[in-house]
Amino acid sequence: TGLVTLDEGFVNTGSTRSAITFLDGEQGILRYRGYAIEDLAANCDFIEVAYLLMYGELPSADKLSVFRCGIRDHTMIHEDMRSFYNGFPRDAHPMAILSSVVGALSTFYQDSMDLNDPKQVEISMYRLLAKLPTIAAYSYKKSMGQPFMYPNNQLDYCENFLHMMFATPANEYCVDPDFAEALNLLLIVHADHEQNCSTSTVRMVGSSNANLFASISAGIGALWGPLHGGANEACVNMLEQIAADGGNVKKYVDMAKDKKNGFRLMGFGHRVYKNFDPRAKIIRTCCDKLLKKLNLDDPLFEVAQELQDVALKDDYFIERKLYPNVDFYSGVIYRAIGIPVQMFTVLFAIGRLPGWLAHWMEMHANPATRINRPRQICTGQQLREVIPVEKR
């Protein structure tokens, strides 16, 4: 064990070289392939950004059109997969459904197992990008007891997702362009974040040469946790709890400062961003605009505003550099659009997918890649002898 350097939680361990994303936590900088996140958010749609992450350059108009069509070709899921949903309990968490159904894609597309066939790998990527919104929307329809809505390929990526979520055979759903725009923005800011827990999981599983669907399914599981992607859901649950408790924001801020109870303010703090989260800055503007337009009478939005104001002025949060992160605002926006809270992390997964794919490809293209296998410092028993069971 003398050679093992311990870094609990991998705070300072570089696991790979990567050309995909640049992060500067002190200065609040996030760039995908050299482009500032603010620039991408202002000028591109999610599919363009997905192409950028996966292939390294922004696409020409022709390449973009081929990419969009490639994805559209695969938006439906196999009819037999619909029967999976009958087996899940109605109150199943959609993240559990998402990871199971994505894992099961490898049972339907067995050619995808051949990692040495770049064409198959590419089709698997198109399938994932196309089917994730469909699988996700079906999990919502299942929870509502409503019929599944087939994708509508006339619509763009975000519009189509909203259509599959909210249309019924009896009622068309007229997509509000501001909702589609907000969703597009959220997917872009979530699209990659270098070696975070779920991306490292995708790389870890992929490093054993497991197939792409298995690797992405594992990443979805990692994202589900409340300290990672699950924070947006946990954040809105917390805001609801504060609102139901009379909106006493200060009580919860004090609770978060008291280490004995283990309570943390969800949507605050970040491992890397110590001054501000640039993603939060972008979507905060969108959040303000949407709330103003909708003029919703929801106490949760007031609580969110107050919590942010109180925590930002509190010495505990200032000293530890704890600011609202992307999940603080994303949950509020999703709620304003009418997306149920259990679906929040699913949307994070849809947004993060191109990042996972880009990292998976980069890892496999790197001849230096070896199976990921960290070491440990053993703190267990020294050598001892087995005492026969009758004498123990």
Residues forming the site for ligand CMC (CB under 6 A): 193, 196, 227-229, 231, 256, 264-271, 320, 322, 325-327
Closest residue (Cβ) to ligand CMC?
Answer: 269
User: 376: helix, coil or strand?
Assistant: coil
Q: What DSSP character marks residue 61? A: H
- Asked if 318 contacts 259 with a C-beta cutoff of 8 angstroms, the reply is no
Q: Which is nearer to ligand CMC, 173 or 263 (CB)?
A: 263
Q: Which is nearer to ligand CMC, 78 or 257 (CB)?
A: 257
Smallest distance from ligand CMC to CB 326, Å: 6
- Asked if 331 contacts 182 with a C-beta cutoff of 8 angstroms, the reply is no
- Asked if 229 contacts 196 with a C-beta cutoff of 8 angstroms, the reply is no
Q: Which is nearer to ligand CMC, 142 or 193 (CB)?
A: 193
The neighbour count for residue 130, using CB atoms within 10 Å, is 21
Smallest distance from ligand CMC to CB 47, Å: 22
Smallest distance from ligand CMC to CB 307, Å: 11
The C-alpha atoms of residue 294 and residue 282 are separated, in whole angstroms, by 19
First to last CA, the chain: 31
Say which amino acid occupies 238: M
Q: Which is nearer to ligand CMC, 250 or 320 (CB)?
A: 320
Smallest distance from ligand CMC to CB 194, Å: 10
Smallest distance from ligand CMC to CB 218, Å: 16
- Minimal CA–CA distance to 227: which of 268, 283, 260? 268
**Residue that has been written with the tokens 């998402």 in this structure:** 98
Which residues carry out catalysis?
270, 327
Q: Which is nearer to ligand CMC, 46 or 138 (CB)?
A: 46
Q: Which residues contact 217 (CB under 8 A, 6 or more apart)?
A: 99, 100, 102, 103
- Asked if 229 contacts 191 with a C-beta cutoff of 8 angstroms, the reply is no
